[in-house]
Structure 1
Amino acid sequence: MNSPPLTDLSDRARDIFRLVVEGYLDSGAPVGSKALASESGVNLSPASIRSVLAELEQRGLLAAPHTSAGRMPTESGLRLFVDAMMQVAEPSQEERAAIEQRLAEPGPIERALEKTSALLSDLSGAAGMVMVPTREPRLSQVSLTALDANRVLAVLVGEDGHIENRILSLPVEALGTSLEQASNYLTAHTSGRTLAEAASTVKEEIASGRSALDEASRDLVQRGLATWSEDATNRPVLIVRGQANLLDDVALGDIERVRSLLDDLESKQSVASLLDRARRAEAMRIFIGSENRLFSLSGSSVIASPYRDREGRVVGVLGVIGPTRLNYARVVPMVDFTARSLGKRIG
C-alpha cells in the first residue's frame, strides 16, 4: 500500500486530513465539512474545506461512503497517519499499574498469558491476542501414575515451578514396577532439559544399549517422550479474548464484515502465522486492512508486538485485533508496555 509522502501535502491539507482521521477514529463515522468548520483552529469556510477534502480524496487518502456523507480515511490514509502523523498517548499511571498488577499475580504462565489477552481486550476495546512462548520449559521432575488399564498420567514439573499433566495411551497391565523405574529414569534424564532435548538423549542411550531399563520401561519412556514432544508442537499456540468487543453499535451496521472477522479469528493457526511475522521481525508491527490477506475481507487492523524473556530473546507475540478505526495512538504504546511487562513475568 503506497501513500503519498506527507511533504506533498500543504499545511492546510495536512491539518484537515488529521482532523478527519482523528474524528473518524473517535466516532467511527465519516466527518463532514460542517463539523470541521466548527473545529477551533480551522479558519476556513465549509466551501474551502470541501475543496481540501476533494483534493485529499483525489490523492486516495480519504473516501466518501455516500454522496451526501462526510469523509473517512482510506487504508492508505490510515497508513500515512500511523506512520507519519500520529502522536502516541502513553498509558496512564493507572493503566500501567493495572497491567503490572495483573501480570504479577502468582500462577502458571498459561494463566498469565490468558490474563494478558483479556487485559489487552479490556484496555483496547478490541480483541486481545497472545501467542504462547515458542521455547519449551526445562524440566526438573517427571512422575508417572496409572490412570486405568490403558492410560498413564505424567506430571511434568518445570524448573520455573510450572506443573503440567500429560496423558499417554498405553496398556499398563504388564508394566508392574516399571512405572516407578520409568519415573526415576525420566527425572534423571529430563532434569535441566526440554522434552525435545530429553527425547534425543534417551533415544541415543537406549539405542546404544547403555540403558538399564527393562523392555516394558523402555517402551513406556520412548513412546511417552515421543508423544509428549509431538503434543507440545501441535497444541494451540494462540489465546484470543474479547471477541464480544467487536460487536459494538458501529460494527453491527456492517454485520457481514464482523462475521468475516469472527470467522478469521476461529482460524487460530492462520492468525498465529500472521503474528509470527512480528516475532520474526522482532519489532512492533501494524497491519491495516488489506495489507494482510487474512483480514482483507473483514477490513480489520492488527497491532502486534513481540515479547522477550529477561535474556532479551523473543519468546512470543501479543497484540490486539479490531476494526481499522482502532485508537492507534492509545493502543500502540499500550501493547508495547504490556509486551515489556509480560517479558518481566516470563523470566
Structure 2
Amino acid sequence: MPTLPITELTDRAREIFRLAVQGYLDSGQPVGSKTLAGAGGLRLSPASIRSVLHDLEMLGLLAAPHTSAGRMPTELGLRLFVDGMMQVAEPTADERAAIERRLAAPGPVEAALAATSALLSDLSAAAGVVMVPRREPVLQHLQLVPLAPGRALAILVGEDGGVENRILDIDPGVTAATLQQVSNYLSAHLGGRTLAQAVAVIRAEISTGRTALDAASRDLVERGLAVWSADASQRPVLIVRGQANLLDETALEDLERVRSLLDDLENKQSVAELLEAAREAEATRIFIGAENRLFALSGSAVIASPYRNREGRVIGVVGVIGPTRLNYARVVPMVDFTAQSLGKLIG
C-alpha cells in the first residue's frame, strides 16, 4: 500500500495523528482520546478526537489493538510519520562524547566495533549492530598443533594481534614433527602477506615443484589454507550487542514477536544481507516492519547508516534493531553520528 501524502490530511487530523504516534513511541502503549484531549493546544472534546481517530484508522494509519483501547500507528502510519513529520533531535554533548570515547579506546579495530555496537544498544535501549569492514588482514604465522590421532588445531595469527582457530582432520599417521615442518613452511610464506596473496604464492610453488615438501606435507599445507580461504567471503561479518534490551516490560505482552526477533538476530548472515541494502544509501535508512523480509514476522524496525573511509568508499554499516516503537527522532541522528565517527577511526 503506498504511503498517503501528509498534505492530504487536514491540519486537525495531522496534529492528532502526530500526537497519537508520539504518545505511542514515548509509552509503547496505544493512545486514547482522553489522553489526547489533555494534550496542550488541541482544544477538542474527546468525542471530536474519537471521530478523527476513526478517520485515521479508516485510512490505515492507526489501528486499535482492542475494542476499548486507544490507537497505535500501523507500519504505514509510522512510515508517514518518519518521512513527513518527524523532527530529529541531535545527539547530546554527553552522547557524542560517549561515542567518541568508546571509539578512541586502545585495542584492535574489532574491539572498537564491538564496543560501538554495545554503546548504541545502551543509548537506544535496543540491539546495536555493526557490519565489520570486509578487509584482509596481514598475516604473521600459522601453527598446526596435534590434538588427537587424526585431528589437529590450526591457529592463524595476524599482525594486528587477531587470532583464529580451526579444527583440521589429518591422516592419523601424521607426526608432530611433520606438523611443525608444515607450520614453519606456512609461516615463512604467510608473514607480511594477506591470505589471498599467501595462497597464490604457496600454490604456485607446489604446482611447479619448487618446494621440498613431500606429498603428505603438501596435502597438509592445502588443508591448512583451505579451512580459511574456503569461507573467507561467506563468514558472518556482523557484531550484535544488547539483545537483552528487547526483553523489556512491554515484551511480556508480545512474547511471540520478541522470540521471532531474537531468532532473526541469531541468523547473523541474514542480518548482514539486510544491512547490505544500506551500503549504497547516502544517509541513514529506516526499515519498518514488513518493509524488510527478514523482520516481517517480528514487526521490527531497523535504523542503519553506512560508514565510509577517507576516500568516501563505503566500508561498513552501523545501526540499531528493535521494536517499531523505537524513538526514531533520537536514534536516527545518533546512528548517523556514530557512522561518521567510525569512518574517521577506520578510514
Q: TM-score, normalised by structure 1?
A: 0.88
- 1:83-111 per-position Cα deviation (integer Å, ceiling 9, x unaligned): 11111111111111111111222223332
Name the structure 1 match of 2:247: 247
Name the structure 2 match of 1:18: 18
SS in 2 for 1:279: coil
- 1:283-306 per-position Cα deviation (integer Å, ceiling 9, x unaligned): 432111111222222211111222
Is contact 1:154–1:165 with CA below 8 Å preserved after alignment?
yes
- 1:255-298 per-position Cα deviation (integer Å, ceiling 9, x unaligned): 22222222222222222221222225464321111112222222
Is residue 16 of structure 2 the alignment partner of residue 6 of structure 1? no
CA distance in 2, matches of 1:128, 1:81: 23
Q: Once structures 1 and 2 are overlaid, which stretch shifts more, 231-240 or 287-296? A: 231-240
Alignment of 1:87-166 (within 5 A): 87-139=87-139, 141-148=140-147, 155-166=155-166
The letter for the 2-side match of 1:335 is V
Is contact 2:146–2:179 with CA below 8 Å preserved after alignment?
no
Cα separation, partners in 2 of 1:248 and 1:321, compared to 1, 3 Å: same
The letter for the 1-side match of 2:291 is E
- Residue 327 of structure 1, CA deviation: 0.4
Cα separation, partners in 2 of 1:143 and 1:292, compared to 1, 3 Å: closer
Is contact 2:278–2:285 with CA below 8 Å preserved after alignment?
yes
Name the structure 2 match of 1:309: 309
Cα separation, partners in 2 of 1:167 and 1:297, compared to 1, 3 Å: closer
- Residue 56 of structure 1, CA deviation: 1.7
Is contact 2:143–2:187 with CA below 8 Å preserved after alignment?
no
Is contact 1:144–1:152 with CA below 8 Å preserved after alignment?
no
- Residue 30 of structure 1, CA deviation: 1.2
Is contact 2:33–2:46 with CA below 8 Å preserved after alignment?
yes
CA distance in 1, matches of 2:193, 2:41: 64
Q: TM-score, normalised by structure 2?
A: 0.88
Name the structure 1 match of 2:70: 70
Cα separation, partners in 2 of 1:180 and 1:254, compared to 1, 3 Å: closer
CA distance in 1, matches of 2:72, 2:106: 45
- Residue 180 of structure 1, CA deviation: 6.3
Cα separation, partners in 2 of 1:207 and 1:262, compared to 1, 3 Å: same
The letter for the 2-side match of 1:86 is M
- 1:185-221 per-position Cα deviation (integer Å, ceiling 9, x unaligned): 5455445542123213322332233445554553333
The letter for the 2-side match of 1:146 is V
The letter for the 2-side match of 1:144 is Q
Cα separation, partners in 2 of 1:81 and 1:192, compared to 1, 3 Å: farther
**What CA RMSD, in Å, does the superposition of the two structures yield over aligned residues?**
2.7
- 1:295-334 per-position Cα deviation (integer Å, ceiling 9, x unaligned): 2222111112223334433232222211110101111111
- 1:163-187 per-position Cα deviation (integer Å, ceiling 9, x unaligned): 4455544359767776666556545
Unaligned runs of 5+ in 1: none
Name the structure 1 match of 2:81: 81
Name the structure 1 match of 2:299: 299
SS in 1 for 2:318: strand
CA distance in 1, matches of 2:329, 2:28: 15
CA distance in 2, matches of 1:216, 1:234: 29
**Identity across aligned pairs (percent)?**
72
CA distance in 2, matches of 1:7, 1:201: 64
- Residue 78 of structure 1, CA deviation: 0.3
CA distance in 1, matches of 2:90, 2:8: 29
SS in 2 for 1:253: helix
Is residue 22 of structure 2 the alignment partner of residue 40 of structure 1? no
Cα separation, partners in 2 of 1:8 and 1:33, compared to 1, 3 Å: same
Q: Once structures 1 and 2 are overlaid, which stretch shifts more, 125-134 or 168-177? A: 168-177
Alignment of 1:151-230 (within 5 A): 155-166=155-166, 168-171=168-171, 182=182, 185-187=185-187, 189-211=189-211, 213=213, 215-230=215-230
Is contact 1:142–1:154 with CA below 8 Å preserved after alignment?
no
CA distance in 2, matches of 1:325, 1:335: 16
Is contact 1:121–1:241 with CA below 8 Å preserved after alignment?
yes
CA distance in 2, matches of 1:61, 1:126: 24
